Amino acid sequence: MSAQTNTWFITGSSRGFGRSLATAALKAGDNVVATARRPEQLADLAEQYGDRVLPVALDVTDAAAADAALAVGIQKYGRIDVVVNNAGYANLSPVETTGETDFRRQFETNFWGVYNVSRAALPLLKKQGAGIVIQFSSVGGRVGHAPGLGSYQAAKFAVDGFTRVLAAETAPFGIRYLVVEPGGFATDWAGASMQVDDIPQDYRETVGAMAELLRGGGASQGDPDRASDILVRIVHADNLPSHLLLGAGAVGMALNYSRSQIAEATAWQAVSASADTGADYPVDLPAVR
């Protein structure tokens, strides 16, 4: 892709990673269809970069709107080279006390929004015979276990599984995928965008501790502008991993989790294999740890 000017389609472009990534792509000389619920928040980018940026209104939970926004981008630039599903948010509360409406609403944006935009993009990318889809997940979408973020992390796990299937299904069409897994970054994700409900006393040790960590900025060491520049460089170099961890903390968490998965699968290997017809059975369970 490095030999051409790329056209990016980025959801959630008004702030956070979406804003940083739109700016990085524009600085690199690319075109950007910058979508947001309130595209007027992108007026300064339009003023600075002129015809190379197209602000478009988009609520990713509206499938028809996703189709329409992509069509506007195609009409303007002729093709879409990179689709970025970045729009998302999280509220923090225990699963037990999170209202079903709130849990579902988060999932609508964080998973179904990705589904809507990805599905709308597929016919366009297939017709081109090429394209990259970048899905913003989280290191939590790989390792889980963040108290208070049940809906958000469930959606990110779903995004990863969904994208793995898409990659297998669409490999013959020249479409490639990158799942981005950031750790803590200095965006508004844990700020005004996040609603923190009253946390019951019996969840103060787990969910309460997570709320204090996030609101205190202790998990936000990453630089979104630098991370966005990395993503633009990867696209231009045409060197695409299937997954990209961002931030040293994310790398450490992922490696520790992978090691623990391997150790557990190995410890239980004989028991797992004994479930097959014809295998030795029963076998001893591993020693209690």
Whether the bond into 94 is cis, omega within 30 of 0:
no
Which pLDDT belongs to residue 191? 63
Strand partners, 92: 196
Q: What is the pLDDT of residue 33?
A: 98
Sign, CA dihedral 26-63-162-153, equals positive
Structure tokens at 95: 């699963």
Distance from the first to the final alpha carbon of the chain:
51
- Count of Cβ atoms closer than 10 Å to residue 162 Cβ: 17
- The pTM for the full model equals 0.94
Instruction: Supply the mean pLDDT for the chain.
Output: 93
Q: Give the number of C-alpha atoms closer than 13 A to the C-alpha of residue 45, restricted to the C-beta side.
A: 28
Catalytic residue among 93, 118, 137, 151: 137
At residue 2 the predicted structure's pLDDT band, cuts being 50, 70 and 90, is: very low
Largest CA distance in the chain: 71
Cα angle 201-205-207, degrees, rounded to a multiple of 5: 85
pLDDT band at residue 1 using 50, 70 and 90 as cut-offs:
very low
Q: What is the mean pLDDT of residues 2-9?
A: 83
Residue 200 DSSP one-character state: P
The answer to whether 157 and 115 are in contact (CB under 8 A) is: no
Q: Where is pLDDT greater, at 193 or 279?
A: 279
Confidence (pLDDT) at 197: 81
Q: Where are the beta strands (DSSP E) in 91-174?
A: 131-136
Residue 194 near residue 259, CB atoms below 8 Å:
no
Say if residue 217's pLDDT is above 90: no
β-strands 243-246, 31-36: how paired?
unpaired
pLDDT of residue 185: 82
156, 177, 220, 228: the active-site residue = 156
Helix 224-237 vs helix 16-27: angle between axes, to the nearest 10 degrees?
50
Every domain of the chain and the residues it spans: 7-246
d(CA 95, CA 105): 14
- Distance, CA of 41 to CA of 53 (rounded, Å): 13
Angle, vertex CA 186, rays to CA 159 and CA 151, nearest 5:
30
pLDDT by residue (tens digit) across 145-183? 899 999 999 999 999 999 999 999 999 999 999 999 999
Kindly report, residue by residue over 102-144, the tens digit of the pLDDT: 999 999 999 999 999 999 999 999 999 999 999 999 999 999 9
Q: Is 93 one of the annotated active-site residues of the chain?
A: no
In the prediction, which pLDDT does 219 show?
Answer: 58
pLDDT tens track for 220-257 = 678 999 999 999 999 999 889 999 999 999 999 999 99
Whole-number Å distance between alpha carbons of 289 and 282:
20
Instruction: Say which of 49, 115, 152, 203 is annotated catalytic.
Output: 152
Which of the four pLDDT bands, split at 50, 70 and 90, describes residue 218? low
What is the pLDDT at residue 158?
98
- 156 tagged catalytic: yes
Domain 7-246 has CATH 3.40.50.720: yes
Task: Say how far apart CA 15 and CA 190 lie, in whole Å.
Answer: 13
12-52 pLDDT, tens digit per residue, is 999 889 999 999 999 999 999 999 999 999 999 999 999 99
Model confidence at 4, pLDDT cuts 50, 70, 90, reads confident
Does residue 190 register a pLDDT over 70?
Answer: no
